[in-house]
Amino acid sequence: MNTPGGFSEKRFGRLIQRTLQAGVAAAFCLVLAGWGLGLAGSPAAGRLLYAGIVALVLTPVARVGMLVYGFQRNGQPFFALASLVVLLLLLVSALL
């Protein structure tokens, strides 16, 4: 489905797909780097592993952020609003 802005469902899906893949890849790279530093005996290894876990936890958050953008761009304000509510709930959970 093409919208007036030319942002098709396919492009929207690809945006979400790439966001998820990028998050998982970044987390995996950080974990691998952490393991590498761990083998080398570096004290920074733990911090990199932690950063990898945080990157993983933030991946669905980034995905929801992209849903807000995508639904808005796609001319579906109700779903953009629903995504925004989910994003706010995730932010609230970080504050608890």
End-to-end CA distance of the chain: 40
Least distance (Å) from other proteins to the CB of residue 15?
10
Contact 55, 23 (CB under 8 A): yes
24 binds other proteins (CB under 8 A): yes
Q: Which of 5, 29, 75, 89 binds other proteins (CB under 8 A)?
A: 89
CB-count burial class (<10 Å; 0-12, 13-18, 19+) for 12: buried
Kindly tell me which of 5 and 36 has the beta carbon lying closer to other proteins: 36
Token pair 């808005």 is at which residue? Answer: 72
Residue from 3, 11, 29, 35 in contact with other proteins (CB under 8 A): 35
Q: Give the shortest CB-63-to-other proteins separation in angstroms.
A: 7
